[in-house]
Amino acid sequence: MSDLLSQEEIDALLYGVDAGDIETEVDDGSDKSIVREYNFGSQERIIRGRMPTMEMVNERFTRLLRISLFLFLRRSSEVFITGIQVKKFSEYILGLHVPTNLNIIRVPPLRGRALVVMESPLVFTLVDNYFGGGGQFHPKTDGREYTATEMRVIRLVLDMIFKDLKEAWRPVMELSFEYVGSEINPQFA
């Protein structure tokens, strides 16, 4: 016997339900089943395999960001694709050091929040290059917060990233990117 219903069988079922010959269960909401909280940090199922749309967006974003950084810093920047990696959030934050610039953003029309992460070596290289340095200056960073000047450069770069991400996503979906706040400790993001 086939697992699929024929059109005649579907019609007979629908007629039986409408006529009252087939009993149906009505969900009156009285089922008091236990609702469990879902913890994204302990997610066991991870999507593996190619994601061609994400790869296309990633390639477009890389190309656009390379151009934007050149115009911003007035020097050539190395921006390259390392491939898309899917990790549990709990594993990802364990690899981050303090300070790390974690920018919490909204991406309407999508729900929830997202992160744009800039690790401290990148931040200090961007700041040094922005003010005409060679990008070789790396101050001691153990646990210190970013200065107002460093935060201003981060926001300028973040606005540039938002513009380039919006353009990279345009063929797939119309998105906008809104800054919500920043954090330097991965444990608080």
pLDDT of residue 91: 85
Reduced to 3 states (helix: H, G, I; strand: E, B; else coil), residue 57 is helix
Q: Which residue, 120, 169, 166, 127, is CA-closest to 148?
A: 127
pLDDT of residue 67: 96
Interacting residues of 54 by C-beta distance below 8 A, sequence separation 6+? 84
pLDDT of residue 185: 82
Going from N- to C-terminal start, the domains of the chain cover: 50-188
Each residue's pLDDT, cut to its tens digit, for the chain (189 residues) gives 556 777 888 778 777 777 777 777 665 555 566 766 656 555 555 566 778 899 999 999 999 999 999 999 999 988 988 877 878 888 888 888 888 999 999 999 999 999 999 998 899 999 999 999 887 766 777 778 899 999 999 999 999 999 999 999 999 999 999 999 999 887 776
Q: Which residue, 182, 185, 129, is CA-closest to 158?
A: 182
> d(Cα 72, Cα 177) in Å, to the nearest integer?
20
pLDDT of residue 157: 98
> d(Cα 83, Cα 103) in Å, to the nearest integer?
22
pLDDT of residue 29: 57
| CATH number of this structure's domain 50-188, picked from the four choices 3.40.1550.10, 3.40.50.2300, 3.40.80.10, 3.40.47.10 | 3.40.1550.10
Distance of CA 27 to the CA centre of its chain: 37
